[in-house]
A and B are shown apart, each in its own frame.
Chain A
C-alpha cells in the first residue's frame, strides 16, 4: 500500500512517516503543494494524505486539480482549521475524509485503513455476515447462531457500521460521525456506553466474543480475539 504524504511541517511529517512505515505502509513525502501535485500526477498512489494549508498550492486546490485530471485516488485532508465549516468545505472540494490537528496517530491509522478498504469493499450488500452473526438489512433482523437478537434502530445502525468494517479498527470519532452524524466530540464516554450495550446484546453468553476494544484506538468487530 503506497501513500503520499503532503505536509510542510517537517517535524510532524517525520513522525507520521515513521509511524506509517512501522504500520507497514510505503510512504513518499512532498513538502509543498506543487511538489505534491507533481508526484500525484507522475506516480501511482493508493492514498493521498495532505495538509490543508501548504506553501505554493493549498491542499483543497490540489484535490480540485487532481479531480479535474480524473485522478480518483482517495484523499485524507489534515487540517489545523478545525471548525465544522472548514470540514464541509474540505469534503465539498473532493476530499474523502477530514481530520483536525492535533489527532491521535491511531485515529489517522484507522481512517487510512477505512479509506483503503472503501475502494475495494462491497458497499451495497444488504446481508452482512461475520462468523455466526447475521444481519439482514432489508428485514432489519439480527441473529447470532440462529438466536434472534432484538436491537433498537440506532443499535442496528451501529452494528451495521461495525460489520461493514469487520476486521478494521473504528475510532469513537468515526462512530460519532458515521452513526450519529455528529462532527464534534462530546465530552462524555458516550460511545463506550453504547458499545457496551451492543456488546451485551451480541456477545452475551457467546463462546467467542465479536466486539473487541483496541486500547488507545477504538473498537473492532472480528472473529479472532
Chain B
C-alpha cells in the first residue's frame, strides 16, 4: 500500500493549519487597513469641520461680502495646498472659491460627499478626488469646504498592496511549511508501513528506521523494534526446535526404513515367505505415511513462521492451477469424476511457488477424496479486484456449517471424514499457506457440495 500524500492525516492537518494562519493574518492586516483608512478620513473630516466653523462665524459677523473676501484670501494664499472652497447663491451660481462650478445636482444627500475635480498643473491635467462638507447658510447661500484626498488615497492604496502582499507571503510560507511537514511525516510513516510489509512478507530481520532525532517516531520505532527482536528470536528458536525435532524424528525413521529396505533387498537370499515380504512392504507404506504426516506438520510450522516467504517469486497462479488440473485430470477420470479448470492468464502473486502448488493440490486431493463417483470438481482462477481468486468447488457431500471452521484446524476429524488414510492435516496446511500469503480463505456451501474460496493479494504491476 503506497501512501498518497494528499490523503494523509498529516496533510489534512497542515491544510487546516494553513487555513487558520490565513484567516488570522488576513483579519489582523485587514482590520489594520480599515483602521488606518478611517483614521485618515477622520482627520480630514476634523479639519474640514473646523474650517467650516470658522467660515460660518465669519458669515455671522460680516455677511456674504465678508465671507467672499475671506474665501478669496484663503484661496489666494499659498501654503494651503489641496483646500477647496466654493460659495454659491441659492441658484448654485458661484460667488467665490477655487472651483469653477457646483459639482453636484442640487444638494448632495451624503454628509461627506466625495467628487473629483480636474486641476490644471503645469504641463498636465489630472483628476483629484475631493472629500467635502456642505452647509446652507442662513441667507440661503451654500458653502462647500473640501480637501484633496489624493494623498490619502495613494497612501491607502500602498497600504492595501502591502497588506495583500503580506497575506500572500504568509500563505505561501504556511503552505510550504505544511507541505514539508506532511511530506516528512508521511515519509516516515510510509517507511514504517513499508518495513512492516517486508517483515510480514518474511524478511524477519528488518527493523524500523531510527533516525536519531529522539522524537516520538524514534521512540515508537525503538519499542516496535524490540518487539520485533523478540518475535524474531522466538521464530528462530521455533525454527531451531523444529529443525532438531525433524532431525530427531527423521533419523530413526530413516534407520527403520533402511533396515526394512535392506531386508527386502535380501529377500531372495534370506528366502523370505511371501507373507512376510508383504507385511514388511505394508509396514514400509505405514512408515512413508508417518513421514508424510511429519513433513506436512513441518511444512505447516514453516508456513506459520513466515520464513517460507524469505525469497518470494512471481507465481502465475492461473498457469499453476492449469498445470495441476492437467496433472490430476486422468486420476479424477479414473475415479469417475469430472475435473475441469478455468483460468485467466497473467494473474501474478508474489509467493512461494511450491507452497502455492501444495495448497491447490491439497484442495483438489481433498475433493477427489470426498466426492463420490459421477461428481464434478471445478478449479477456477479469476481476477477479483485487487485479488486473485482461486476457487475449488465440488458437488460432493460438502462440510456441515458447524464443522467448516474446525476443518482448517490441525488434526480435525469431521463427522463424515471416514477415509482412514487422511491425516487430517490437508486443510490446515492450506490455511497456513493462505495466512502466509496474506490470503483470505473461506469454506462455503456450494449446495450441494463444498466451495473453497481463496483470495490472494495480487502482486503490484512492476
Chain A interfacial positions (CB closer than 8 Å to B): 9, 11-12, 15-16, 18-19, 22, 53, 80-85, 100-106, 152, 154, 180-190, 193-194, 197, 216
Contacts and interface: CB of A to CB of B under 8 A. Distances in A.
A193 B330 CA distance: 7
Contacts of A101: 250-251, 253-254
A207 B62 CA distance: 153
B261 A19 contact: yes
Given A82-B295, A154-B327, A180-B323, 4 more contacts: A85-B352, A100-B295, A102-B257, A190-B328
B299 A83 contact: yes
A193 B331 contact: yes
Nearest to A53: B247
B259 to A, nearest CB: 7
Contact of B253 (A15, A19, A102, A104): A102
23 contacts: A11-B255, A16-B258, A80-B246, A84-B299, A84-B308, A85-B352, A101-B253, A102-B287, A104-B257, A104-B261, A105-B265, A106-B261, A154-B326, A154-B327, A180-B323, A180-B327, A182-B327, A182-B357, A185-B292, A188-B368, A190-B327, A190-B331, A193-B331
B254 to A, nearest CB: 4
A164 B250 CA distance: 33
Contacts of B368: 188
B299 A80 contact: no
Given A12-B255, A188-B331, A193-B330, A84 B262 contact: no
Contact of A80 (B250, B326, B330): B250
Contact of B262 (A19, A181, A189): A19
Interface residues of B, number: 44
Contacts of A19: 258, 261-262, 265
A188 B265 contact: no
B333 to A, nearest CB: 9
Contacts, number: 113
A12 B265 contact: no
A118 to B, nearest CB: 23
A82 B326 contact: no
B358 interface: yes
A82 B246 contact: yes
B247 A102 contact: no
Nearest to B368: A188
Given A9-B251, A18-B262, A22-B265, A83 B287 contact: no
B365 A80 contact: no
B291 A102 contact: yes
Interface in B221-239: none
B330 A197 contact: yes
A32 B124 CA distance: 113
Contacts of B76: none
Contacts of A187: 292, 365, 421
A105 B299 CA distance: 24
Given A12-B255, A85-B302, A102-B256, A80 B247 contact: yes
Nearest to B421: A187
B31 interface: no
A16 B262 CA distance: 9
Which of A16, A105, A189 has the most chain B CB within a 10 Å cutoff?
A105
B243 interface: yes
B266 to A, nearest CB: 8
Contacts of B214: none
A26 B354 CA distance: 36
A103 B253 CA distance: 9
B358 A184 contact: yes
A201 to B, nearest CB: 12
A150 to B, nearest CB: 16
A82 B296 CA distance: 10
A189 B251 contact: no
A57 B355 CA distance: 30
Contact of B354 (A12, A84, A104, A186): A84
Contacts of B265: 19, 22, 105
B283 to A, nearest CB: 13
A12 B262 CA distance: 11
A84 B352 contact: yes
Contacts of B353: 181
A81 B291 contact: no
B452 interface: no
Contacts of B251: 9, 12, 80, 101
Contacts of A193: 330-331, 334
Contact of A182 (B256, B310, B330, B354): B354
B361 interface: yes
B390 interface: no
Which of A80, A104, A185 has the most chain B CB within a 10 Å cutoff?
A80
B298 A102 contact: no
Interface in B355-393: 355, 357-358, 361, 365, 368
A105 B262 contact: yes
A104 B256 CA distance: 11
B407 interface: no
